[in-house]
Structure 1
Amino acid sequence: MVEGALARAEERARAAAPGIDIDRSVVAGEALEVLEVESRSAALAVVGSRGLSGFAGLLLGSTAVHLAAHGHCPLMVVRGRPDPAGAVLLAVDGSEAGQAAVEFAFAEAALRKAPLVALHVWSTWSERAYEGPGDPLTAVVADIDHLRQAERACWMRRWPPTRGLTRRSRWSGAWCAPGSARP
């Protein structure tokens, strides 16, 4: 049954993009653990959105959230058919590991001639710009904006045709991402 589903998925992928290399395999194990390990040698992890809960339109699935936090390569979450004019959404955290995702998102936006929306979601307890409980939120936001503007300017010089927009949110990425790609 699994092999048949993989064969059908491979057939659909080949029909959609005939020139790409496809390697399929069945790997035994807990899905999240296997995907996390496999992401170490992958150029890109792609997951869908099954939407089994009542909050399907609001939340990323548990697999996407896990890979966003623990994966070792850029992650693409596919939610239905892509809008050819739609923006590329990049969730950034400022980490060194996240630079591969930034590179991928700019390249994808340039390839598709699409706008790029960079969404920085943070918790005041984990952001590097945060100094302590006495810091007012406005100072934290100003520090984050300063850091992000410098990063954005660097990437926009490197990918000049890309139209970019930066947003920030002090909430969980699972709640913010689905509706955030609208420029």
Structure 2
Amino acid sequence: MKYLIAGLGNIGPEYAFTRHNAGFMVLDRLAAEHGFSFSFEKLAFVAEWKYKGRQFYFIKPTTFMNLSGKAIRYYMDQYKISPENLLVVVDELQLEFGTLRLKPKGSHGGHNGLKHIEEILGNSDYARLRFGIGNNFPRGRQIDYVLKPFSKEEMIELPIFLDRAGEMVVSFCTLGVQSTMNNYNQ
């Protein structure tokens, strides 16, 4: 069984701890915990990990958030990954900070990264793990908010939520989407 896990974010040190990079942070945390590392390849930073008879392929697209679908399509084709074995880890404004929700499919909900993936794949039939970043910003300031680092208070709690999200990624690949939703969705 092969799985492609795509953590969405923006490359560059100026984006490293911004809310929009929650997907990158989840994968980086998993890599640190399980001892695999990312290397720069075509369209993404890529890592591989074998666990419980499963092959995990992790990507952090270098195409920037709004063109994430390009890298995902490339690696789905490269590794021959079916849509049901794709998981996209993404930040979510509509969920309170730290809330985690796995969904087997759904709409892009206005998220430009998911919107591009849907355009490139031609559908929205892929799983996504939504990482709540909250929506505490004035009207019209959404871009400033998502590109701003987490607050000091949030940074204290962030490792707990990153670890939980990592557990959900592993569970998705080993137990399946329904069991993971039942066990982890808040």
Normalising to structure 2: TM-score of the pair? 0.35
Which one has the bigger strand percentage?
A: 2
Computing the radius of gyration from Cα coordinates, the structure with the larger value is 1
Normalising to structure 1: TM-score of the pair? 0.35
